[in-house]
Amino acid sequence: MDTNAARPSRPRTVFTPEHEMFREQFRRFVEREIAPHHRDWERAGIVPREVWQKAGAQGFLCTMLDPEYGGAGGDFGHAAIIIEELARVNASGVAFQLHSDIVVPYIGSYASEARKREWLPRMAAGEIIGAIAMTEPGMGSDLKAVRTRAVRDGDHWVINGAKTFISSGQNAGLVIVVCKTDPEAGRRGVSLIAVEEGTPGFTKGRKLEKIGMHAQDTSELFFEDVRVPVGNLIGEENGGFRHLMHQLPQERLVIAVRAATSMETMLEKTIAYTKERQVFGHSVFDFQVHRFKLAQAKAEIAMFRVYVDDCIARHMKGELSGEEAAAAKLLGTEMQNRLLDDFLQMHGGYGYMAEYEIGRAWADARVGRIYGGSSEVMREIIARTL
């Protein structure tokens, strides 16, 4: 991999020298353990669990988690570097960011001390892979419409329901289930309850076929009279909506960070390809229509890089607002889809071939406008602040 590829045109100030040393360490791990194998994982539809264990052994999981619980004790800058380096090689199936920066924070922030000590060290080591189960068949992510129920029965919760489109659903050893504990209270009746793999009544359905992100296992999950201890409640009973709203800005920033690096990388690859590809005796790059599109893309990507780096810096200070994160996700994923479509077009027929990275990146990017809250939801969040 070309370590000089896709460098922004202006120096980045959001990362410290220590961050950049961490980047070099993780980049070597990606080059050795991930990039050479990702195409095989796409064909298999899943990333081996051993990859998480190797990453955990080297401190590349749960980088923001307190060392007391097995984490690296870093900040969101370290997490952003993990996201960027995976995006740089389009390793869309390696869901370290989902595990470390979306699932683990719920447990670290809201679980009981006993559950933190039971689960977090194993998650940091890659022994347990985390997932969050929100979406249900026929209702999307509308929390008011959640039908999965959890009923208190003595010292246990009894869970019944079904979830779909769950990322890391096959690999997951621990799933945070969004369920109703007070059906009459709407969003105020939602709770988060953790269910461990192997719990009787908890089954994983088929591995869903997607148009992109083929290496990331996405599944249906089913819960039939699943009994878990009351201590598996994550946070407050009926407080799940509040907990979700507090954590979602980081999830949306994670998606925006990936979009920024994806665009930078694919721009550089497209520039190189168009200078090599010949049409009518000239390189594709020689045609003004393509040069101008690439110039426009470079300008737009540079502007977005400044914004997303500012969001990273603000988030590390605890100052990033929900609408700012929504704006980053909205702008980043919409721009990513539009520009990658242009880049694919410049590759001609080869761009549509799966062996060319641009085609896979284009297909992988499409879900960015849907998961973590659709672009329409992002616009609604921003509109409420007007």
What is the set of active-site residues? 251
Indicate the DSSP class of residue 148.
-
The number of beta carbons lying within 10 Å of the beta carbon of residue 284 is: 21
CA 45, CA 49: separation in Å to the nearest integer?
13
Per DSSP, what are the bridge partners of residue 229? 156
All residues at 6 or more sequence positions from 62 whose CB lies less than 8 Å from its CB, including other chains:
56, 70, 71, 72, 99, 100, 104, 120, 123, 124
> Which two structure tokens, joined as six digits, stand for 313?
């810096």
Residue type at position 375: S
Burial of 138 (0-12, 13-18, 19+ CB in 10 A): exposed
CA 79, CA 19: separation in Å to the nearest integer?
10
> Among residues 220, 213, 262, which one has the least CA distance to residue 46?
213
Percentages helix, strand, coil for the chain, rounded to the nearest 5? 55, 15, 30
All residues at 6 or more sequence positions from 292 whose CB lies less than 8 Å from its CB, including other chains:
none
Concatenating the DSSP letter of every residue in 268-310 gives HHHHHHHHH-EETTEEGGGSHHHHHHHHHHHHHHHHHHHHHHH
| Neighbour-count burial for 146-163, b at 16+ CB within 10 Å, e otherwise | bebebeeeeebbbbbbbb
